[in-house]
Structure formats: C-alpha cells, structure tokens
C-alpha cells in the first residue's frame, strides 16, 4: 500500500487490512443466519470492506476475485 506520502510498511498494511476485514465481517456476518443467502452476504462483505478500506487509506481497492486455491465452504457447515 502507498499514498501520496509514499509506501506503507508491510506490517502496517497487513494490520490495516486485517482490522478492516474483521470490522466488515462483524458488520455483515454478525446478524447472518443459516438461511441467509451466502452470495448476498459475500457481496455485502466486499462492498463494506471496500468502504472501510477507502476510509482508512483513500484510493484503496479490494480484489473481488477469490484465489484459485480457495476452498468453498457452505455457510452453516460444521468443521470437524
């Protein structure tokens, strides 16, 4: 990450991104139920994260494509 003042350190960038992702997850998934549409929740999460990131670092962008190694998980599944 960088802005008009120059680059952010990797640890600072990671901390900002993690804090905003946690905040977005709490806002979006906090009231979700097993009947909530996963696709709608995902879109709401991405939009909320984009807004929060831009508020923290103006001009931030959030990738909306999952990494090809990402394993899909159905909401409500029990993890052993």
Neighbour-count burial of 49, counting CB atoms closer than 10 A to its CB (0-12 exposed, 13-18 middle, 19+ buried): buried
- Residue 26's pLDDT band, with cuts at 50, 70 and 90, is very high
Neighbour-count burial of 9, counting CB atoms closer than 10 A to its CB (0-12 exposed, 13-18 middle, 19+ buried): exposed
Q: What average pLDDT score do residues 25-50 get?
A: 88
Q: Please provide the average confidence, as pLDDT, over all residues in the chain.
A: 83
Residues 6 or more apart whose CB falls under 8 angstroms from that of 67 comprise none
Q: Please tell me the distance from the alpha carbon of residue 42 to that of residue 28, in angstroms, as a whole number.
A: 9
Q: Is pLDDT at 45 greater than 70 in this prediction?
A: yes
Q: Please tell me the distance from the alpha carbon of residue 35 to that of residue 37, in angstroms, as a whole number.
A: 6
> Which of 2-11, 31-40, 54-63 has the least mean pLDDT?
2-11
């Amino acid at each position: 990450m960088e802005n008009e003042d120059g680059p952010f350190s990797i640890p600072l960038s990671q901390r900002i991104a993690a804090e905003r992702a946690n905040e977005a997850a709490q806002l979006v998934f906090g009231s979700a139920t097993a009947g909530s549409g996963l696709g709608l929740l995902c879109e709401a999460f991405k939009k909320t994260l984009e807004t929060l990131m831009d508020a923290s670092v103006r001009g931030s962008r959030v990738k909306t494509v999952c990494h090809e190694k990402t394993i899909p998980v159905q909401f409500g599944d029990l993890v052993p």
